[in-house]
Copies of this chain bind each other. A is one copy, B any other.
Amino acid sequence: MAHELPKHIDIHEEGPREGFQIEPPGFTIADRAALIEALADTGLRHIQVASFVSAKRVPQMADAPELFAAVRKRAGVQYTGLWLSPQGFERARATPQVDLTGTLYFYASDAFSRANNGIGAADNAQAQRAWVARYRQAGLPISTAYVMTAFGCSFEGVISEEQLAHTLRFVADLEESEGFRLDTFYLADTVGMANPASVQRRVALARRILPHARIGLHLHDTRGIGMANALAALQVGVDLFDASIAGLGGCPFCGSAHGGAAGNICTEDLAFLCRELGIETGLDIDKLLHAARLAEKIIGRRLEGRLMHSGLPEELHAAPGTSAA
């Protein structure tokens, strides 16, 4: 099993955005900034702090500029934001603490693109040309792209490999015609439709069509197989993952009839998996557990992470019959 495993992976933290955008509004700037600072203490080098989206649709993120301003930044850590509209991008640009990145967003699912974004997948893809121009005007290299719902969505079901390939080829053509090269390309399992076999096949597909890009995975544990999907990705050498501390997050479009779907794969559980497999993450798991338990304290209910509730295996108990000091 081990011969394909990467020696080192990077985990990008999504919890502060993914987590608080689905909770009710009202969490204080101070608490959220404290969590972000605890995350930056763990060795994480890339933390998505908030999104700059419609305050009407996502009131939880209306205070994104204030949150960025409140965080004491740590050198060497990127504090990123997410935006989907030119207005959002302008708000992010007007927030000096944001580490801006030239990120494009594509959708494999047309219906999900409409629901999330107001326009269909093809129109959204065409609209990325304007984003290329906008980023260039702002002096930002076009470094990263995501394809959301790369495995399926709650409206269309499983997205075929052909449909995904169509989106990927559009991305490759856009690179060609606009004269840029992505560093990083993410397959996002936005609502948890991936499985270990589809992960390995679609990573291979993305590598064929975008051979120069580092392939990352954004996985959700919606159906309990998120960590198996991560293992399958590691086994084909994927070395970049989005994850959320304590498993924060979820999807407002799925599972509401049954109590709500689980969020991203859990940062500290993924870091633990890597540690056990001898894969370096550069992360301090004790500090991740501290951050996860802080997140649980702030949110105020039991969160989905496992390691945070059990502790590391080396946290031994006194055996019965041995005398305690």
**Which residues of A are interface residues toward B (Cβ below 8 A)?**
1-2, 111, 114-115, 152, 154-158, 192-193, 195-198, 200, 221-228, 230-232, 235, 253-255, 257-262, 266, 268-269, 272-273, 276-278, 293, 302, 305-314, 316-321
Contacts and interface: CB of A to CB of B under 8 A. Distances in A.
A152 B317 CA distance: 13
A309 B258 contact: yes
A260 B307 CA distance: 10
A115 B319 contact: yes
Contacts of A259: 302, 309
Contacts of A197: 1-2, 276-278
A223 B155 contact: no
A268 to B, nearest CB: 8
22 contacts: A115-B319, A154-B313, A155-B316, A155-B317, A155-B319, A157-B313, A157-B314, A157-B316, A195-B277, A196-B273, A197-B276, A223-B272, A224-B227, A225-B306, A227-B227, A228-B228, A253-B317, A254-B311, A258-B308, A262-B306, A262-B310, A302-B302
A320 B115 contact: yes
A230 B230 CA distance: 13
A232 B232 contact: no
Given A1-B196, A157-B314, A260-B310, 16 more contacts: A1-B235, A111-B319, A155-B317, A155-B318, A196-B276, A197-B278, A221-B306, A222-B310, A224-B227, A224-B268, A224-B307, A225-B306, A228-B231, A255-B310, A258-B293, A258-B309
Given A154-B316, A195-B273, A196-B277, A258 B310 contact: yes
Contacts of A226: 227
A272 B306 contact: no
Q: Interface centre among A111, A196, A316, A318, by most B CB within 10 Å?
A: A196
A57 to B, nearest CB: 12
